[in-house]
Structure 1
Amino acid sequence: MANQDYVSRAPAKKKKNNRNGKKPSNNSSAVPLKAKLISLLLLILIAAFAYGLWSLKTDPSTKTPLVEPIKTVNEKKPLNKTDELPKPPKEKWTYVKDLETKEIEVGKYEVKEKGPYKMQCGSFKTQKQAEILKARIAFSGLEAQIKSVTGKKGTWHKVFLGPYPRKRLAENDKHKLKRNNINYCQIWLWR
């Protein structure tokens, strides 16, 4: 800790006297007016609450009990027509009985197999691009084929998977390819 120089420090200022020549009183025990008013208000509220409780205690209307006397077992009240429960109404709905005897007619449906499906994932002008896509599909765990087709606009190299006997199997592989970031595959009928 650094040494403090008490000599070069300015001396403390003395308190000034009032106009009358008296020192100002530093009355720390004086309570401000606001605190006095709040404490007076609290005392009045507590007194009013205590008076309210005392008046409830001494009021004769609060002395009578509100509980009815307990009836003994031997005392029975005669039953009135109003005390009896009404008889339940008869049901006007017959659907419960109708459902017991209801027969359901089942139509004869034939499921037609449309045939095998294939999933084409790309069509490229160069063989190299088709080989790259085939390799990416192989890394996802599926086997793709490349077929070269010559048309009016030149030779196209198509990358496809299949044949699939059902479309659902092709959809499963399509979702597997999407999880491996190979998008834009289309499922078609095999022709």
Structure 2
Amino acid sequence: MDYANRKQPPKRKPGQTRRGGKAAAAQRKVPWAIVLLAVLLVAALVGGLRFIAGGKDAGDANNSEVTQQPVTETPASSTGPVAAPMPKKPEERWQYIEELENLEVEVDVPERELGPPKLMQCGSFRKRADAERLRAAIALQGLESEIYPSNNNTWYRVVLGPYETKRDAEAERHKLQRASIHGCQIWNWNL
């Protein structure tokens, strides 16, 4: 569509609308049926909410205040009605509570079979000085390690242990990892 060359719409007279002027506006009727239906729906909604809430109308509330009188207890010496004493607290009829309090449970825990002793190797070096440096860092963590030469004194292994269980070895390995000593391996070695 060419907006530059299009025709201008005809100018309207004051008070005239696009749909035919004042006469068309006067001919529009208000849909009274829809307005009446909307008012009825709102009234039904309000009534339903009051019914659900259990509320009373304002007129009923005023009447109930007038008819209700506060109930006061009368002393036992007066001739008026006497309030019944409170019923006794019912006794528990359950016996399992007492049985469970005195019950002891016995559990058979099988003995754990211990495998071969575990050793943890934290390093293997060609120079003994490097192995001594790692051993000193481990000693600063409160753990004791040994240096074992292997291959005719060409390699030096830094080893911790022996440990009875792998759990003990894992605990010390985590302690070394917190101190930034990584690379320790747990093996089923027997020296």
* Fold equivalence (TM over 0.5): no
Bigger-Rg structure (1/2): 1
TM-score normalized by the length of structure 1: 0.41
With normalisation by structure 2, the TM-score equals: 0.41
